[in-house]
Amino acid sequence: MGIVACEALKKEIEMVSSGDPEIAYREYLDFGLHSDPKRMKAVIVEKVNSLEGQVDGVFLGYGICQSLRDVDRDLRVPTFRLECDDCIAALLTPAGYENERKKCAGTFFTTPFFAEAGMKRMIKELHLDQPKFQKYDKMWFIRRFFDGYSRVLYVETGAGEDGRHEALSKAFAEELGLKHESTTGTVSLLAEGLVRAKQVAKQRALGA
């Protein structure tokens, strides 16, 4: 089996797959690919198809993520993708994700990965690291981006380090003047996804 996944889920996928003798290949792609969904899809298709003949199946550690709903049509290796909108839904479950958005529409979600990335990630995603922004206050632009948000919700997945990531999330919220709350996530969908990927590979092999 191979794993091709977003780096945003690396900590959690490693939790459910560490020591699995069936995993022969692992690659975690840059979260920044999400800024260009078409390119992200093309990169994922290229990565998965490059494993043809090397693995029997692939667990694709992505949700729909705007452009991946029908990605399996372009893949030459038996692959299972998470049936959810994105990585937050994968860690909260789709029902839990929807419930939190109903509680507060202006919610910005963080996980151990996003808490660690912090403002550096925002600067990169908003392209504020480009030379033309060097003379400007980057936080001014970031605060404008968060105008529609009222809280930061930290999702503890079990991959956080003794409260350190939750503290980083709180500091992130404080810098933006937003309310901070925490909730507990799950890695069950990732574990189930890996099992399903193996089943898909075996079914394809039997069909062949």
> Cβ(30)–Cβ(7) under 8 Å?
yes
Instruction: State residue 203's pLDDT score.
Output: 82
Q: How confident is the model at residue 160 (pLDDT cuts 50, 70, 90)?
A: confident
pTM of the predicted model, to two decimals? 0.91
Mean pLDDT along residues 68-77: 94
Instruction: State residue 162's pLDDT score.
Output: 83
Nearest of 37, 35, 28, 32 to residue 7 by alpha carbon: 28
Burial letters 72-82, b for 16+ CB under 10 A, else e? beebebbbbbb
Mean pLDDT along residues 60-64: 95
Mean pLDDT along residues 180-196: 96
For the chain, the C-alpha Rg in angstroms (whole number) is 18
Instruction: State residue 200's pLDDT score.
Output: 87
Which structural domains are found in the chain, ordered by start?
A: 2-85+187-207 (3.40.50), 94-184 (no CATH)
pLDDT digits (tens, 9 = 90+) for 114-139: 999 999 999 988 999 999 998 999 99
Whether residue 189 is predicted with pLDDT greater than 80 in this model: the reply is yes
pLDDT digits (tens, 9 = 90+) for 42-59: 999 999 999 999 999 999
Whether residue 154 is predicted with pLDDT greater than 70 in this model: the reply is yes
Whether residue 28 is predicted with pLDDT greater than 70 in this model: the reply is yes
Whether residue 174 is predicted with pLDDT greater than 70 in this model: the reply is yes
- For residue 194, give the 3-state DSSP assignment: helix
Instruction: State residue 208's pLDDT score.
Output: 57
- The percentage of the chain sitting over the pLDDT mark of 90, rounded to a whole number, equals 90
Q: What is the dihedral of CA 174, 175, 176, 180, to 10 degrees?
A: -20
**Pairing mode of beta strands 58-61, 2-6:** parallel
Spell out where the chain has E strands.
2-6, 25-29, 58-61, 79-81, 107-110, 151-156, 179-184
pLDDT digits (tens, 9 = 90+) for 74-116: 999 999 999 999 999 999 999 999 999 999 999 999 999 999 9
Nearest of 72, 75, 66, 84 to residue 9 by alpha carbon: 84
Q: Is 46 exposed, middle or buried (0-12, 13-18, 19+ CB in 10 A)?
A: exposed
Instruction: State residue 125's pLDDT score.
Output: 87
